[in-house]
Chain A
Amino acid sequence: MANGQSNSNGVYLDFERPIIDIEKKIAELEEYSARRGIDFSNEINQLKGSLEGAMTEIFANLTSWQRVQMARHPHRPLTSHYLNLLIHDFLPIQGDRIFHEDGAIVCGFGKLEERKVMVIGHRKGRNPQENIKCQYGSAHPEGYRKAMRAMRMAEKFKLPILTFIDTPGAYPGIGAEERGIALAIAESIKLMSSLRVPIICTVIGEGGSGGAIGIGVGDVLLMLQNAYYSVILPEGCSAILWKDGGSNQEASEALKLTAKDVERFGICDEIVPEPIGGAHRDHKQTVQTLKDAIVRRLVELEDKPLDELLEARYEKLRSIGEFSESSK
């Protein structure tokens, strides 16, 4: 393994298989050579060469659907990893003060280097127990209402806001509808459009529709290289488009949901590169690259007078969309 923390329990995607196979061989040879004291460095170097070749080949040309799978990779760094590795002195804000503490969205004060910030992110779990608590990152209205509490507090104490987006969508359930999931998302979007503090949103994994944009409006939108952001999940899209159970592959292509696509639409401002092989192969490097991008953007935003910042935010949102307008 590249850093010993990925794929450690043997979970990998189909298209990662050639890499996993070569890595296994390298590990075996290394172990054998250490045990028997025989020098296999030539063979190992050769294998490492073919590993690099395989990695470049596979990851340079990922299809849209493969990127969706990368964004959902079981070892991909989650909001909790960014909270640990990017933020220090995290202090949680909990509860919407109305109904419930929603585990699917985490909020709190934290420090990014010496800067005080407000952090808001979707929370996914690594195992079934964790995922019961956080519903696989699918938030109820309470999650967005808690997020709004955190946002208002950030405004009050003049803290920039960092959001980490990683959700398959808002929770599809009776309770969510009863308690106004649509209203909670709409209010959150509306609030974020005018908050008087800098806001940087990052799609770190899945950008699932309304559930994502509910904490996705700000001055800058970053996307990790293999994150996706879509108006509807590819599975949902393919069910609508091809009633006989169409392909997620085709739906993913049609939706134009990769970071590159979203950047082309003027929605994503910057694509943050992932280590070769994906974010899951090196959490630390991923976090470091994102950290550099966030700090650089934050410095720019903090330099702007507030009114200018808000005007630029509004103009960016206003400019999104493509249509023709001729008086013919």
Chain B
Amino acid sequence: MGWENFKRITFRRKKEVPGGLWLKCKGCGNLVYKKKVEEKQHVCPECQYHFTLSASERIKNMLDKGSFKEMHTHLTPTDPLQFKGSKTYKDRLERAQKNTGMKDAGIVGTGNLESRPVAFGITDSRFLMGSMGSVVGEKLARITEHATANRLPLIIVSGSGGGARMDEGMLSLYQMAKTCAALERHDQAGLLYISILTNPVMGGAFASYASVGDINIAEPKAIIGFTGPRVIEQTIRRELPAGFQTSEFLLEHGMIDMIVSRENLKSEIAKILEYCAN
């Protein structure tokens, strides 16, 4: 790659590319055919970069066709702190709602994965960085309780780079305790919890429900960690090593069981479900 490639790209863009047919890959910088990316579940055919996937697309890819039944759809965030920075939380919420068509960052429900019934939760990183406020915490706790009551394995896919949502203050922080408490009961009931980490998962999300799976799986090259890299750099006053807080870093340090690319995710989970059905 390099200069030649670059020239080719600019040329194409000018002369041949009708708008919206091509995507610039954030991983390799190449222009890639959008349709091909979509066929591969939004993975770059050149470098395997995993593009952001909306929660609904993810559900479509991971669960058997038409099997997903969404639950607790009426939960809507409020603004308990009347939070106001340079923008108000209310405005931020409205904007995210408009952009995503979601009420908040989390979707939960039940469905089948290769014909096995599962409870399923997901956070969408497009909605305020998938951060966990009261609604996300409540939904995840409810689906966990549903899984416990109905003896279902639980899968939570997190794209929660925003950690615990600042705009809901302490209420967000204690969603960490709420989700973990529900997961503890699910655990004690002898049921399987698989946590799928997608780009990105940080802070209070990673330090609660997202890291305590019986099996933790990450997508390749996702950014996953606790403290934001800039804060760490400011504290230790030196540069962070290459690949710090990536899926690969986590695997090397023993924090996750495996890295699985998006295309194989469903079949890998099915294998685990077979071993851990209870």
Point out residues on A near B: beta carbons under 8 Å.
169-170, 172-174, 176-183, 185-187, 189-191, 193-194, 209-210, 213-214, 216-217, 229-232, 236-237, 240-242, 246, 254-257, 261-262, 265, 267, 313-314, 317-318, 320-328
CB contacts (< 8 Å) of A191 on chain B: these are: 184
* Shortest Cβ distance from residue A186 to the other chain B in the assembled complex, whole angstroms: 5
A236, B203: Cα distance in complex, Å: 13
A267, B177: Cα distance in complex, Å: 11
A210 touches B176 (CB 8 A): yes
Q: Give the contact stretch, choosing among B47-55, B56-64, B163-171.
A: B163-171
Return the chain B residue nearest A172 by Cβ.
Answer: B227
B169 touches A257 (CB 8 A): yes
10 A-B Cβ contacts within 8 A?
A169-B227, A172-B232, A177-B226, A216-B177, A240-B166, A265-B169, A267-B174, A321-B138, A321-B174, A323-B134
* B267 in contact (CB, < 8 A): no
Could you say which of A246, A256, A320 contacts B174, with CB atoms under 8 Å apart? A320
CB contacts (< 8 Å) of B177 on chain A: these are: 189, 193, 213, 216-217, 317, 320
A200, B26: Cα distance in complex, Å: 48
Interface flags for B143-176 (1: CB within 8 Å of A; 0: not) read 0000000000000000000001110111111111
A321 touches B76 (CB 8 A): no
A209, B164: Cα distance in complex, Å: 9
* Shortest Cβ distance from residue B163 to the other chain A in the assembled complex, whole angstroms: 8
Most buried by A among B78, B174, B184: B174
Known: A209-B204, A230-B170, A262-B170. A324 touches B137 (CB 8 A): no
Could you say which of B135, B164, B166, B185 contacts A237, with CB atoms under 8 Å apart? B166
**A177-B232, A322-B80 known; 14 other A-B pairs, CB under 8 Å?**
A170-B226, A172-B231, A179-B253, A180-B211, A186-B176, A186-B208, A191-B184, A194-B181, A210-B173, A210-B204, A217-B177, A246-B86, A321-B137, A321-B178
Most buried by B among A216, A242, A317: A317
CB contacts (< 8 Å) of A318 on chain B: these are: 141, 178, 181-182
CB contacts (< 8 Å) of A229 on chain B: these are: 170, 173
A313, B177: Cα distance in complex, Å: 11
What bracket does the count of chain B residues touching chain A fall in? 35 or more
B244 touches A254 (CB 8 A): no
Known: A186-B180, A210-B207, A322-B134. A173 touches B232 (CB 8 A): yes
* Shortest Cβ distance from residue B30 to the other chain A in the assembled complex, whole angstroms: 31
* Shortest Cβ distance from residue A122 to the other chain B in the assembled complex, whole angstroms: 16
A255 touches B85 (CB 8 A): no
B76 touches A194 (CB 8 A): no
Could you say which of B78, B181, B207, B255 contacts A322, with CB atoms under 8 Å apart? B78
A313, B178: Cα distance in complex, Å: 10
Interface flags for B83-106 (1: CB within 8 Å of A; 0: not) read 111100000000000000000000
A190, B193: Cα distance in complex, Å: 14
B219-266 interface with A by 8 A CB criterion: 225-227, 231-232, 235-236, 240-241, 244-245, 249, 253-255
A324 touches B232 (CB 8 A): no
B74 touches A174 (CB 8 A): no
A174 touches B244 (CB 8 A): yes
* B115 in contact (CB, < 8 A): no
Known: A317-B181, A321-B174. A255 touches B226 (CB 8 A): no
* B183 in contact (CB, < 8 A): yes
* Shortest Cβ distance from residue B139 to the other chain A in the assembled complex, whole angstroms: 9
Known: A189-B176, A210-B204. A194 touches B185 (CB 8 A): yes
